[in-house]
Structures are given as C-alpha cells and as structure tokens.
Amino acid sequence: MLRRIELHGILAEKFGKSFDFDVESTREACEALSYQVDGFRQFMMTAHESGLFFAVFYDDNEQSISADEVEMKTGAKVIRIVPKITGAGGDAMGWIQVIAGAALVGVGFLVPGMQPLIGAGAGLMLGGAAALLMPRPTITPQDPDGNKPSYAFGGPVTTVAEGNPVAVGYGRCHWGGAVISMMIVNEDT
C-alpha cells in the first residue's frame, strides 16, 4: 500500500518534507528513504552522537510508537518521523554551568547594580565543578540475593542495595520501599 512518509524539523530541511513509498512498516520506510535520498542513511546513523533521536507517529496520532513497533506492519496512511532532542549527556552540562557562572560573575562586576549576579554566578560555577567531579551512580536493578516481587502480597519490589536513590512520596505510594537503615540486635533475655 502506498504510504506518505513525512519528515519534520531538521530532517525536512535537509532531505525534503514528504515522500510516497509502497512500504508496510517504519523500518521499510527508513530503508526506502536511505536508498532514495542521498545522505539520509549516514545522517540517521550519526544523529545520536549529537543528542538527536527520533519519534515516529502514525497518521494524526499524538502518541509515538515504541521501539518494538518499528518493524511491525502498520495500517496507517501517514508515517511521521519527528526529531527529538535529548539531554546533553556526558560532562557537557557541568562545563556549561561553569562557563555560564563565569559569565554571570563577569556581568555582576562590570554592570552597575547587578552585583547579585556575582553570587548566582559563583553558585553556578560551584555546581558545575561539583557535577564534573562527582561520578554518576550506577543503579543495580535488583540484588543478586533474590530480591524479587512478592506474588503473595501483590506488591512491588522492596529495594535493598547500597547507593540507590530513595523516593520521597506524598500521598498514596505505588512503589516498593527502600530500606535506608537496618540493625540486628542479638540478646539473651
């Protein structure tokens, strides 16, 4: 079936906005574009290096498809491929904070009446330096000691591991607990 493939954002600027191909899935649509449009394959293969990922929508649906649905056949008449920018990644954000903080300190010194920017800039520089010095914690999904959900109670997993974040919830909680402190006392009475 002939389907319209619509590209948006930077994809539309570089390669064109609309194409019609006889394809059955999003994967086939991307393959057809890579054969018919010069540079499309190379751009898609290297886009993640600059923090650019893509969402795929069918027809006028507001919900993007999941990665599992990319190879599935679709009955949609229009396949829309939309770029989405993700976080900076790496240590770039720490450096950006340091540079922005230095700029604020400079503006605070040079512009009359803007002295409060010195404190804000210093705080931003310290936050950026801390982000550069601190390692990112790795979260283990589960402990090897068999920390699995209890089907007897139908509740979520209670996490018992060092270094995991602790959720602070208000109202009804729908997640397992996190043991923060534990003590065993053995006494003869």
Mean pLDDT of 48-73: 85
* Segment 19-42 mean pLDDT: 92
Could you tell me the pLDDT band of residue 89, with boundaries at 50, 70 and 90? Answer: very low
Q: In this predicted structure, what is the pLDDT of residue 156?
A: 57
In CATH terms, 2-85 corresponds, of 3.10.20, 3.30.1380, 3.30.70, 1.10.3470, to 3.10.20
| Average pLDDT, integer, range 146-170 | 61
Q: State the pLDDT at residue 140.
A: 54
Q: Which of 29, 18, 31, 22 is nearest to 1 (CA)?
A: 22
Residues 6+ apart with CB under 8 A from 120: 101, 104, 108
With CA atoms as reference, report the closest residue to 159 among 136, 144, 143, 137: 143
What average pLDDT does range 138-147 have in this prediction? 52
Q: For residue 160, give Cα distances in angstroms to 99, 114, 185.
A: 39, 49, 19
Give residue limits of the domains in the chain. Answer: 2-85, 92-133, 137-189
Whether 32 shows a pLDDT value over 90: the answer reads yes
pLDDT score for 96: 83
Q: Give the mean model confidence (pLDDT) for residues 123-144.
A: 70
